[in-house]
Structure 1
Amino acid sequence: MIQGSMVALVTPMTPDNTLDWSALEKLVDWHLEQGTDAIVAVGTTGESATLDMEEHLAVIKAVVDQVGGRIPVIAGTGANSLTEALQLTRGARDAGADACLLVTPYYNKPSQEGLYRFHKTIAEQVDIPQYLYNVPGRTGVDMLPETVLRLAEVPNIQGIKEATGDMVRARTLIEQAPDGFIIISGDDATAVELMLLGGKGDISVTANVVPKAIAELCSLAIAGRAEEARALNERLMPLHQAMFVEANPIPVKWSLMEMGRIQSGIRLPMTPLDERFHDRVRDALQGADLV
């Protein structure tokens, strides 16, 4: 079972917005040193929406090769086109990824039956473990718990990244999902509470800047050590909040640049962090002794 701290890794870019392969390798090595449990390559934080197909698969392959089997690599392969999602998922499998993360098909606004058939088709056609990803604030579509539970019965579909922050929903899924189907947080601020309910990890933006702390947080919460987990999360809350003062991954890429770990590249329509947020994000980084 994949569980624990799963960093939603940024995709480093140079100032002219070409992919920075050297920085990517160094980020992967840093996460391995810091105790990150799994790496999610080319998800939302990895700017999947601005990479072309060739770049997308090349980043997955580069992460897989650099990790070298030491921890699992989960590839973001969702799309609003079934053909594209199939192509990306097959490509990730062929690149050696351990699993794929597939966001609900955005913009199309499908019905619950459409969501069910879309994910079931991919699971049946591509032999690799798959995780659903529900983030209605970005996609414009909400995969309801009853649809998740239907899909939980499909071979290859092994869990969901639930990013609504809704603990009532999380509890329902955790209590009703079949054995072997896991619930993972996709919301740093509420991840501790989801894991204390029985969730198995956090696909984390904040882990990009404090990987060791998020790995510890997940370990404590999954073990049920509620007081310690909540105390650590309270200390990390300024960072959680700072990472979302503008749309992800704008603040986290700016933070990593301030920390000297990546260059300034970010692709349109995303723009560099607005100057009015610089002090707030820098204060959060300084409070965590990161700059």
Structure 2
Amino acid sequence: MTAKATTKVISSMAANADSAKWLSGFIPDLPTPFTHQDEIDTDAFGRLCERQIAAGATALVVGETAGESSTLEPAERAELVRIAARVARRRVRIIAGAGSNATDRAVTFTRAAEAAGADAIMSVVPYYNKPMPQGMAAHFRAVAAVTTLPLILHDIPSRTVKGLTDETLVELAASPRLIGLRDGSSDVARLRRLRPRLPATFRMLTGDDTTSLAYMAAGGDGCISSVSNLAPDLCVAVARHLREGRLYQARELHQRLVPLATLLEREHPAALKFALALLGYMQPTTRLPIVQLDTTAKAEVAQAMAELADEYLAAAQ
């Protein structure tokens, strides 16, 4: 690599780190709408993207947990990124889920996401394999090496069994290419423990809506959210109140979200898809092995939605 090329790469990496302030607030983890023929409903997905942009989201996560990533074909992953990028028109960042428990596939998905127009990559801790910490570090370094895009790690021990250790995260965060963590541990104490050890530019976001207020109040930057798919304006208001020091108002609004967020977490993403179907944005269709909610669960979600049907949801219908 020439000196000029090296300088360009270093400048790009520094710009990515410096511009990571957009990775904050409530960022929706978008579901993937399917037709009854089990194909991506491209029109519905475009509407979901536009709704979030209009509500003030700073970024959209596509093809990740809520998007049923493990059942998406490679071409479908790329299609979701292309649709989101076309709708966004650079108004918000597009974060592409590109994780896998096989490093070579994570590398392939990452390259494809960048080619499709993603602005950042979200890469989950390898699941099922239970790699040692050194293996996790090598996995993420291999992914970061094949893209010019910033990389966001996703640590969710309830799904991967083994999570990122503090030491591994601190080691990885030293690279300016890795700009943040989606923390699915629901452990606010972990945030307090890690924050002094991480670069000031490294962004810490929870993946748990129910504890998101406590997480952000303790110094977290935001939440990769499911419930913001349903009440984006309410979530934007919570983040704004908290940012401007109005903790009481933020707490009052957040409490409205908790009952619904708890139900979404219980049967994710089937409950989210059913709730969005109630609002008329998409069909509740899921892809096996995820199935649609049973009658009891549907009634619970419908009731929680009715209780949240204030001016925020009314404006969205």
Secondary structure of the residue aligned to 1:125 is: coil
- Output the TM-score relative to the length of structure 1: 0.96
Deviations 1:170-217 (A, max 9, x none): 111222211211101110011111111111111000011111111121
Q: Quick one: which of 122, 130, 139 aligns to 1:118? A: 139
Q: Quick one: which of 43, 56, 75 aligns to 1:35? A: 56
Asked if the contact 1:132–1:159 (Cα under 8 Å) also holds between the matched residues in 2, the reply is: yes
Secondary structure of the residue aligned to 1:119 is: helix
Gaps of 5+ in 2: 1-19
Deviations 1:219-255 (A, max 9, x none): 2234443222222111211111121232x10100011
- Aligned partner of 1:46 in structure 2 is 67
1:187 and 2:208 are equivalent in the alignment: yes
User: Structure 2: which amino acid aligns with 1:286?
Assistant: A
Deviations 1:115-157 (A, max 9, x none): 1111112112322100000001011111111111110012310
Asked if the contact 1:37–1:215 (Cα under 8 Å) also holds between the matched residues in 2, the reply is: no
Correspondences of 1:26-175 after superposition (within 5 Å) = 26-175=47-196
Deviations 1:35-91 (A, max 9, x none): 222100111001111111111111111111111100111111111111111111111
User: Structure 2: which amino acid aligns with 1:41?
Assistant: V
* Distance (Å, rounded) in 2 between the aligned partners of 1:186 and 1:213: 17
- Output the TM-score relative to the length of structure 2: 0.88
Deviations 1:89-124 (A, max 9, x none): 111112221111100011100011111111112112
- Aligned partner of 1:238 in structure 2 is 259
- Aligned partner of 1:277 in structure 2 is 297
Deviation at 1:31, TM superposition (A): 1.0
Rg: which structure is higher?
2
Which has the higher mean CA deviation after the structures are superposed, 172-181 or 252-261? 172-181
Count of residues paired in the alignment: 290
* Distance (Å, rounded) in 2 between the aligned partners of 1:165 and 1:126: 29
Asked if the contact 2:81–2:113 (Cα under 8 Å) also holds between the matched residues in 1, the reply is: yes
1:259 and 2:279 are equivalent in the alignment: yes
* Distance (Å, rounded) in 2 between the aligned partners of 1:224 and 1:84: 43
User: Structure 2: which amino acid aligns with 1:234?
Assistant: Q
